[in-house]
Amino acid sequence: MRLRTIGLTLALCLVAVAATFASDPNMGTWKLNETKSKIAAGIGKNDTVVYEAAGDSVKVSIDGTTADGKAAHTVWSGNFDGKEYAVTGDPTSDMRSYTRVDANTLAFAAQQAGKPTLNGQIVISADGKTRTVTTHAKDEKGMKVTNTGVYDKQ
């Protein structure tokens, strides 16, 4: 009987975690809509972004190109709790944090060796079909650059 109760409790916990991620509008695959985006020249771009559940965390995989046109693949796993988690594959950052602002909005920040490199906001449209990412960073000359990427849910 005790084993059955433990098994049932574990199953309910897994269902609750799955339901939480399923209701998150960020989850899924997003493709860059270059026509609607405003990305400065000489800046890399994220062509495809995938948010998926990874246990009790979120895994974000990004495929795109660097500023010089080379293929790039980065991965971040963590929670949307404002804490920094490691990033792999990104030459401009080694840590990234996401903070949930509201049901459809995330704020994020990236760092390299403890120094801020990028921050911004992600907003999911009310219908859940479009994702707008606004980033603020500095280019190689130290000038502030703002980019807006618009993504369509696949």
Query: Can you tell me the mean pLDDT for 132-146?
Result: 90
Is 112 in contact with 92 (CB distance < 8 Å)?
Answer: yes
Q: Is 48 helix (H, G, I), strand (E, B) or coil?
A: strand
Digit-coded pLDDT (tens) for 2-42: 545 444 444 443 433 443 444 899 999 999 999 999 998 87
Digit-coded pLDDT (tens) for 86-122: 999 998 899 999 999 999 999 999 999 999 999 999 9
d(CA 12, CA 4): 12
Q: What is the 3-state secondary structure (H, E, C) of 67-103?
A: CCCCEEEEEEEECCECCCEEEECCCCCCEEEEEEEEC
